[in-house]
A and B are shown apart, each in its own frame.
Chain A
């Protein structure tokens, strides 16, 4: 399937026609609603909150925030940012409750430090991996965005960003930029390995109101397996690399030479052994 990210920049791709199609398609509306509910579940908000909707589009996710039931902690007040004027126009016609901004998230998040309780982003931040002009880079745009987002959330706040990475490189680039900005980060993948896989980047500021680490976000959720890549990464780092001069290194070198077809002395129990110290 072709990706809209590869066709045009977001403000041009979502023209009047595309925005209308996007907002009226019942398939997209259902998917967006499911993902918004999942994100709200991950945010775990207990009381009416002030939320930033990054890439709000026509307000499909926002209206769910406004309609959240009081027993689930809602309804929330939200502020939306989007770069496509046509999408915001559709949002105006649908009379959404949130405040709308025409802004490019790659240019930063123009709010005071500690403004929001939480942030939500549905199918938006993969657009940051595209640079449309030569004076900006994807890395720079991601850095500006995540640093701005980090500052604008209050301590103990959380952000959930659902996104569609093109490949593992984009996935690593986005999560790496978030970690560099100071967030505690984790990934939740729904339906992994299928065509409908959905990736959620869960970010916390100052612990995110959790007593333990980021895996506490999914405590009490059904059917979630925690795969901790941190331990594996630490093990790889701790594994002893063969150092120059030790037996493993010598054996490796001898192997290499042998493969080149050179004459190499036979291995024995004395190979690479230290000589006795002789006075």
Chain B
């Protein structure tokens, strides 16, 4: 699972979705892998306004990356190629191959195997 996806996914349990702590989901025992992806500055510029920066900072922290700047790069900062390249590396090239995603509200753990997260819920949680 790419870090960009982790920044959009929430807990699938119905009661959790409305609570503030259901996002971001927390990584546990994550094994990372770097996969080269073509650099697309336009895509990064398109998606940055929708990124939850606080959530991304938390995720990056849990995965052991150096801490990100306090505020989201906006406006002129997005013309800087190096900033975009760094974001590209973190968001699109960093993959979590194994591990767990844990909800902060209900504590449900979604397993990640070979990069695929299992979001199937038992019927009593739907």
Residues of A within 8 A of B (CB): 47-50, 75, 77, 79, 81, 83, 88, 92, 97, 99-104, 107-108, 110-112, 114-117, 133, 135-136, 144, 154
Instruction: From B9, B10, B47, B126, give the contact of A50 (CB < 8 A).
Output: B47
With CB as the reference atom, state the residue of chain B lying closest to A77.
B43
Tell whether A77 pairs with B116 under 8 Å between CB atoms, given A48-B46, A97-B37, A99-B5: no
Q: Give the distance in Å from the alpha carbon of A102 to the alpha carbon of B17 in the complex.
A: 19
Kindly list chain A residues whose C-beta atoms are within 8 Å of the C-beta of B38. 75
Kindly list chain B residues whose C-beta atoms are within 8 Å of the C-beta of A81. 119
For residue B27, CB closer than 8 A to chain A, the reply is no
A-B CB contact pairs (8 Å), 26 listed:
A48-B42, A48-B43, A49-B46, A50-B43, A50-B47, A50-B50, A75-B38, A75-B40, A77-B43, A83-B120, A99-B1, A99-B115, A100-B117, A103-B118, A103-B120, A108-B17, A110-B11, A110-B119, A111-B9, A112-B9, A112-B10, A112-B23, A112-B52, A136-B123, A144-B126, A154-B50
For residue B100, CB closer than 8 A to chain A, the reply is no
Contact A77 B4 (CB under 8 A): yes
Q: A99-B1, A110-B12 are in contact. List 9 more A-B contacts (CB 8 A).
A: A50-B47, A75-B40, A77-B92, A83-B120, A103-B118, A107-B119, A111-B8, A112-B9, A136-B123
Contact A110 B9 (CB under 8 A): yes
For residue B57, CB closer than 8 A to chain A, the reply is no
For residue B114, CB closer than 8 A to chain A, the reply is yes
Instruction: From A75, A79, A102, give the contact of B118 (CB < 8 A).
Output: A102
Kindly list chain B residues whose C-beta atoms are within 8 Å of the C-beta of A101. 116-117, 119
Kindly list chain B residues whose C-beta atoms are within 8 Å of the C-beta of A117. 46
Contact A115 B120 (CB under 8 A): no
Complex interface bits, B1-34 against A, C-beta within 8 A gives 1, otherwise 0: 1101100111110100100000100000000000
Kindly list chain A residues whose C-beta atoms are within 8 Å of the C-beta of B119. 81, 101-103, 107, 110
Q: How far is the CB of B47 from chain A (nearest CB, A)?
A: 6
Contact B1 A102 (CB under 8 A): no
Q: Give the distance in Å from the alpha carbon of A93 to the alpha carbon of B30 in the complex.
A: 22
Tell whether A104 pairs with B40 under 8 Å between CB atoms, given A77-B4, A99-B5: no
Candidate in B12, B23, B46, B116 with the most chain A CB atoms within 10 angstroms: B116
Tell whether A50 pairs with B23 under 8 Å between CB atoms, given A77-B4, A115-B8: no
Contact A100 B10 (CB under 8 A): no
Closest 3 CB pairs of A and B: A103-B119, A110-B12, A48-B43
Kindly list chain B residues whose C-beta atoms are within 8 Å of the C-beta of A136. 123, 126
Kindly list chain A residues whose C-beta atoms are within 8 Å of the C-beta of B43. 47-50, 77
With CB as the reference atom, state the residue of chain A lying closest to B96.
A99
For residue B77, CB closer than 8 A to chain A, the reply is no
With CB as the reference atom, state the residue of chain A lying closest to B6.
A99
For residue B106, CB closer than 8 A to chain A, the reply is no
Tell whether A133 pairs with B123 under 8 Å between CB atoms, given A112-B10, A112-B23: yes
Q: Give the distance in Å from the alpha carbon of A45 to the alpha carbon of B17 in the complex.
A: 29
Q: How far is the CB of B87 from chain A (nearest CB, A)?
A: 13
Q: Give the distance in Å from the alpha carbon of A136 to the alpha carbon of B123 in the complex.
A: 9
Contact B114 A107 (CB under 8 A): no
Q: Give the distance in Å from the alpha carbon of A111 to the alpha carbon of B42 in the complex.
A: 23
Q: Give the distance in Å from the alpha carbon of A47 to the alpha carbon of B42 in the complex.
A: 7
Kindly list chain B residues whose C-beta atoms are within 8 Å of the C-beta of A75. 38, 40
Q: Give the distance in Å from the alpha carbon of A75 to the alpha carbon of B92 in the complex.
A: 14
Kindly list chain B residues whose C-beta atoms are within 8 Å of the C-beta of A116. 8
